[in-house]
Every structure is written in C-alpha cells, then in structure tokens.
C-alpha cells in the first residue's frame, strides 16, 4: 500500500484576529487617525455617489463604502516613501495613502480639518469629475488616480493590470536599498487573473518588497467568489509561491493594521513579498448609488448583516469603550467631514435654472486632448548626431550586426548604472538565443536578469520600473509574437500611462525584439509587429538596417523618456556591415529617415532587412528609384520632410515590407501618404507585402507567405507600368 505524508507549505499562512489586549495596547493616536481617515473617506465617497446620481460623474463611480477598514488599516502603517497602487475601485486607497502623506503626524478626530486635507479632497473630486484641476488633469477620472508625491503610483481600470507595475516599483526600492515597500490592492476577481499570479511568482523569485493586498468583497460585479474559484480563502494563493500570507477581518481596521505591520517587517528585512487577504464588503453595487440587492444578485438581509459590521462604527465603539472619544465627538467629526465635502463640491458644481452642472470654466481645454501622448524629445537636445557618411571615427567595414547589438549595450551599461536588462535566457547561452546580450551578465551581474517565462509579468514590472524613474529597463521579447501574451501591459499600461496620468510623467523603457521570418519557426514566432505598434498610443519604434545605424538609434532609444520598441531582424544578425570600432557614443535622431539611394522615377519606402533586398533589386533592374530607409516607424517619428520631398520629385510611391498584409505597417503608411501627398501622386501608393496567412513551418509555404525579391520586382514593375514604362 502506498504511504502518504502531509507536506508543509514553504511559507506561513495565518489568520490574524484582534483581542481585547490588542485594543487596550493600541496607541490612541493611531486609533484616532484611523477613525478620522475612514470618516473623511466615507463622506467623500457619499458625495461622489450623490454627484453620480445627479448625472455629474461622466463614467463610472466605483465606491468602496464599507471597505474603508482595509485601506486605512494598511495605509497608517506605511512610510511616506512607501507606495501603493490599486484597481478601478480605489478612491479609499488613494485617499488613505494621501491623507497619511498630507498629515504625517496623524489626524485628530476632534480637531478642525486642515487645509491640506481640503485641497486633497477637492483635487481628487475634480479628477473624478474629469476636470482640469484634478491630479491627472481630468484624464483619469474615477479609475485612474495618481499622485506620485504621496506614493500613489496610479490606479487601474484593467482588473489585475496594475499588479505587475507595482512589482516594478518594488524592484526599484530593492535595488536602491531604501527599505521601502509597495502595496498593490486588488479584489477577489483579480486573484484568478494571469498577470497577478505571474507577478506573485516573479516577486517571490526575486524577493521583492511587494504586498499583494486582496480586498475580498465576495463579488466581481455580480458573480460570487464561490462561483469563480474552489478555494475561496484567497490568501491561499500565496502558498503556491512560498509567500507569507495573512487572512484578516477587513471590517476590523486594527486587525488590518497589525497584519500590515507584520507584513512590512518581512518586506523591509529582505524577506520578499507578502499576501494580506482582508474580508470586506462593498455596501453598494459595482458602480453607482444603488445597493447590490437592487440588481437581484444578493439579498437585503445579507447587506444589513454586513452593515452591522461597519468598520467606522466598530472603531468608534472600541474607542468609546476606552473613553478615547464620545458619541457627540464622533457625530461632530462626521458633520465636519460632510460639510467639507459639500463645500468642496460647491466649488466644482453650480446650480443653473434649477439644475446642477459642472462649472464650465473648470473643464479641460479641448486643445489638451493629445498633450503628453509622448514627450517632446527635448532630452535629446544637444547630443552628437552622426551619419556614416560624415563619421570621422574608425570604422570596421565588415562588423557583424549582432556583435554590435551587444557592444553598444555594453557601452551604455558601463556608462549608465541605471540600465537593467531582463528577458528570457538573456543571462545564459552566451548572450541569449542569438548572442545579442553577449558578455553583459559577466560584466554587470545583477543588472542582467533572466526572467521566468512570463512576458505579462516582466513587461509590466519593467513598466513599473520606468514609471518609478530611478532605473531604465531594457526588456527582450524573444519573439515579437509574444507581445500578445503581454498585450495589456504593452498597450494598455506602458503605452498609455504617460497620457492617461496627465501627460507630465516619463516612461523610459526599451523593448527589443527580433523579426524571425525565414527561420522555420512558424505562425507564432514570425510576425513583424511594426504595424501593430504604429497604431498603438504612446510607443516610439526604431528599425535599424545597418550596424552603424543600430548604435545611433539604440543610444537615442536609451536616452528617450518614452517607451521605444527596437526592432531587429534575424537576417541582419549575421550580416556584416560598417560599424564604429571605438566610438559608440553618437546618436541618430529619432524621426530621421535616410535616403540610401537617390533617384527620380519612384520613391521606395522600406525598413529593416528589406532595405538591402530593395537596393539589390533596384540595381539589378536598373530602375532610377529613390530608396528611403525609414528607420523611425511610429506616427510621430515618420520623417515627412524627407518623404514628402522625395514624393514631390518622383510622384510615385512603393512601400516595401516583408510581413503579412493582416498586420501590415504599409497599410497605415500608405493611407497617411495618400492623405498628405495626394496632389503630388501620379498614381495610388503601391505596396509590397506578404500574404494574408502567417508564415508556416514548411520552407516552401513560409517563402510564399513572406515578401521577397520577386515580390519587390513585381512591385517595381507595377509602378513603372502605371507610368507607361516597361522594364527589360
């Protein structure tokens, strides 16, 4: 008969409850601060729901009335330099952390409310109403609240989407040796999200000071936690990753504070991440001023039972038992908080013809619409720009492209200790799967990090590092197709962050990836992502076609304060071309194309490996074509001065790319050209691209799927034929 032995988890899992002794030993000032914070938050939330009920909140108003104990109990134990982020239901967390910041000596339940608290309340309410006076200048609203000075990293409308970003901030704290920690708040629904579980694994493996704070309010909109998972004690998630975990009654703010203090001790001492599950309850529906029972997914009796456990009432009772406060003082505190919120709302809303409306002068200007989608590149002002033709340093005419990739990164890391490199296998195999990070691990140790196979987690972690601002992350996606695995972090988070949070923050991040068409790796490893990224908000894209250009463009990417996608191509890795021998410090400006062959019969626009293929076909056919290497591919980076000057001369355009028509970059580019240059065109923009299907494993089918020399020739012949000219 088989024998069985119970296994013990590698980390503790505890339920923490408070006793009379805990309440008796609690600092009266701490209890008073928590009571005042919760009353202020409750009054704020009630005012927001009132405004929402009057139709003055454009979009959702996800209140956390009833859940204040979890946010306040954790925030009061943090330093000002600790940080938090949260999900869409985060007014209480944002305010709890901000109140602790503006009142570092605590909040007295009997004192007048200070001006800093008033300013905080007004600015937060303005943001929720979408006004220019808000923290994000009205762009964030209820779901995207950020105040970096107070340690609020930014809340998130994607369930679980902010968790990897919080890991990036925790990484920065650990690397800087500050002893600071990060709390990432999310609900029961997010515990089943891949990005959360991936980040738990990564944070545990790297011992990051990150608390996964689960507010288990039992409902993801209307779906009960028991419908969504078999293990409803959600703190059990930590056991699978050897993360110390606590389960507490979130309606007891002192229990939350004690658990948070223990978790902070673990994190500050280098023990890695923690999990706190706080059982809480939202008194209202997912969104708006009605209770959940109005929608039929829970009963009034259930709601009344939880309301009897109101965290504010509990704390007021316990303080009264110890003669720390009286009923009249609690009532006066509530009245002051309510009056404050009424006063603040009165400065944002006015009565006109019997109806309330936002004061028109407070709306953001429509001219503010696109501000901050990306920076202005002023960080690159004054750098030394070079082109091969004017470069006076020593040149190796036959340098291997992939060696230059590693060499320039080595140079930048040697000069800038803020740069950290991460990705799958980048620390092994003599520089990853292609040698692009050769020698970096030996030279720079823990600044070159091999990651688990979890693009969602490490891309988001890098995004959090970039937003922190102390370090510059460079991540590698082994293949660009993997961006779909990390699409939320790449597009919803990293790409949108700068604009979404007001337009005045930097997101310095470099994402390297290789286009692997022609290698036989099939449909899920072979795409060209340029077309996808070009239509996504916030990303810059560079596509070097020569070793010399790679150095200059990578230097610009690393200096840029926006996220930059650096495209490489496997066909170029082993190709040879001119590269600097000992001067790796020049720049090629972002947004600068290059005419690599002058001509007058047509303009051919291309990039990456297709530059060389196009030049070869043009020479072979003897056509007088002007070939332009685009180099910068994003919407803001297209060099229209060079492109338009060429089109004005030739009147004919051919866009050449290798990849699938379905994710085509050329479709976007052709539409832009025909809009801008219609009068200069003698014929519609012609295009060369691959087939509709992704490349297949079969060598023959792969060749048919990707554009090659024969397709370039056919494209050139089409352009010439439209002019009534024929080629031999």
Which of the residues are catalytic? 455, 525
DSSP one-letter code for 494: I
Of the candidates 568, 570, 480, 572, the residue with the CA atom closest to the CA atom of residue 532:
480
CA distances from 654 to 325, 667, 710, 717 (A): 79, 12, 14, 10
List, in sequence order, every beta strand (DSSP E) within 359-425: 395-400, 419-423
Joined together, the tokens standing for residue 150 give: 């107070």
Task: Measure the CA dihedral 134/136/141/145, to 10°.
Answer: -100
Cβ atoms of 660 and 689 closer than 8 Å:
yes
Residues for the chain: how many in total? 728
Q: Which residue has the tokens 């620390």?
A: 427
- Cα 307 from Cα 292, distance rounded (Å): 13
Of the candidates 516, 515, 557, the residue with the CA atom closest to the CA atom of residue 539:
557
Cβ atoms of 373 and 637 closer than 8 Å:
no
- Can you tell me whether residue 476 is helix, strand or coil? strand
Burial class (CB in 10 A: 0-12, 13-18, 19+), 678: exposed
How many beta carbons lie within 10 A of that of residue 389, not counting itself? 7
Query: Which phi and psi angles does 15 have, rounded to 5°?
Result: -100, 125
Of the candidates 482, 514, 483, 480, the residue with the CA atom closest to the CA atom of residue 402:
514
- Cα 218 from Cα 226, distance rounded (Å): 8
Q: Is 609 left (phi over 0), alpha (psi -120 to 50) or beta?
A: alpha
User: Residue 224: in which H helix or E strand, if any?
Assistant: strand 223-224
Note the maximum CA span of the chain. 101
Cβ atoms of 440 and 146 closer than 8 Å:
no
């Amino acid at each position: 008969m088989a024998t069985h032995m119970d296994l013990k988890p590698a980390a503790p899992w505890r339920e923490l409850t408070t006793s009379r002794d805990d309440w008796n030993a609690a600092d009266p000032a701490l209890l008073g601060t928590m009571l005042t914070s919760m009353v202020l938050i409750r009054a704020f939330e009630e005012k927001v729901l009132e405004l929402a009920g009057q139709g003055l909140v454009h979009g959702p108003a996800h209140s956390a009335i009833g859940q204040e104990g979890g946010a306040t109990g954790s925030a009061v134990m943090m330093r000002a330099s600790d940080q938090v982020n949260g999900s869409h239901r985060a007014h209480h967390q944002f305010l709890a952390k901000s109140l602790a910041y503006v009142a570092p000596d605590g909040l007295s339940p009997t004192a007048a409310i200070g001006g800093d608290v008033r300013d905080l309340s007004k600015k937060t309410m303005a943001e929720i109403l979408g006004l220019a006076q808000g923290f994000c200048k009205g762009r964030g609203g209820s779901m995207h609240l950020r105040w970096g000075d107070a340690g609020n990293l930014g809340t998130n409308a994607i369930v679980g989407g902010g968790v990897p970003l919080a890991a990036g901030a925790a990484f920065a704290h650990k690397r800087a040796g500050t002893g600071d920690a990060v709390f990432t708040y999310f609900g029961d629904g997010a515990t089943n999200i891949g990005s959360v579980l991936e980040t738990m694994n990564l944070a545990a493996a790297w011992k990051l000071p990150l608390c996964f704070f689960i507010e288990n309010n039992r409902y993801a909109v209307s779906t009960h936690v028991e419908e969504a998972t078999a293990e409803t004690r959600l703190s059990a998630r930590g056991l699978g990753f050897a993360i110390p975990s606590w389960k507490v009654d979130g309606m007891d703010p002192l229990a939350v504070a004690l658990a948070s203090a223990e978790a902070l001790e673990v994190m500050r001492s280098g023990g890695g991440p923690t999990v706190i599950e706080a059982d809480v309850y939202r008194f209202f529906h997912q969104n708006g001023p009605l209770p959940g029972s109005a929608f039929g997914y829970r009963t009034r009796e259930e709601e009344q039972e939880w309301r009897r456990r109101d965290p504010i009432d509990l704390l007021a009772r316990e303080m009264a038992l110890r003669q720390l406060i009286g009923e009249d003082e609690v009532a006066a505190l509530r009245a002051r908080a309510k009056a404050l919120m009424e006063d603040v709302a009165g400065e944002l809303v006015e009565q006109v013809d019997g109806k309330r409306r936002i004061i028109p002068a407070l709306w953001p200007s429509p001219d503010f619409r696109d501000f901050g989608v990306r920076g202005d590149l002023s960080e690159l002002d004054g750098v030394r720009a070079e082109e091969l033709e004017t470069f006076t340093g020593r040149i190796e005419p036959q340098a291997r492209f992939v060696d230059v990739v590693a060499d320039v990164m080595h140079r930048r890391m040697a000069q800038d200790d803020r740069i950290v490199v991460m990705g799958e296998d980048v620390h092994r195999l003599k520089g990853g799967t292609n040698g692009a990070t050769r020698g970096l691990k030996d030279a720079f140790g823990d600044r070159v990090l091999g990651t688990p196979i979890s693009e969602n987690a490490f891309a988001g972690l890098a995004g959090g590092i970039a937003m922190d601002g102390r370090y510059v992350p460079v991540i590698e996606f082994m293949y660009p197709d993997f961006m779909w695995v990390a699409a939320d972090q790449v597009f919803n988070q990293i790409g949108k962050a700068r604009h979404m949070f007001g337009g005045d923050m930097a997101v310095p991040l470099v994402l390297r990836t290789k286009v692997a068409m022609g290698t036989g790796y099939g449909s899920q490893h072979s795409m060209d992502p340029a077309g996808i990224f070009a239509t996504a908000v916030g990303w810059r894209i560079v596509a070097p076609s020569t070793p010399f250009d790679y150095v200059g463009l990578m230097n610009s990417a690393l200096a840029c304060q926006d996220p930059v996608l650096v495209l490489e191509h496997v066909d170029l890795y082993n190709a040879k071309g001119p590269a600097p021998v000992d001067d790796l410090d020049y720049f090629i400006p972002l947004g600068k194309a290059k005419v690599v062959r002058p001509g007058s019969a047509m303009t051919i626009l291309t990039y990456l490996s297709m530059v060389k293929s196009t030049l070869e076909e043009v020479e072979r056919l003897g056509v007088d074509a002007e070939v332009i290497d685009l180099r910068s591919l994003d919407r803001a980076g297209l060099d229209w001065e060079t492109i338009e000057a060429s089109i004005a001369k030739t009147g004919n355009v051919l866009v050449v790319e290798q990849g699938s028509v379905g994710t085509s970059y050329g479709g976007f580019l052709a539409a832009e050209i025909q809009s801008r240059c219609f009068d200069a065109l003698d014929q519609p923009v012609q295009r060369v691209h691959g087939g509709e299907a992704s490349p297949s494993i079969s060598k023959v089918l792969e060749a048919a799927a990707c554009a090659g020399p024969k397709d370039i020739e056919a494209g050139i012949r089409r352009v010439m034929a439209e002019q009534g000219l024929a080629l031999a």
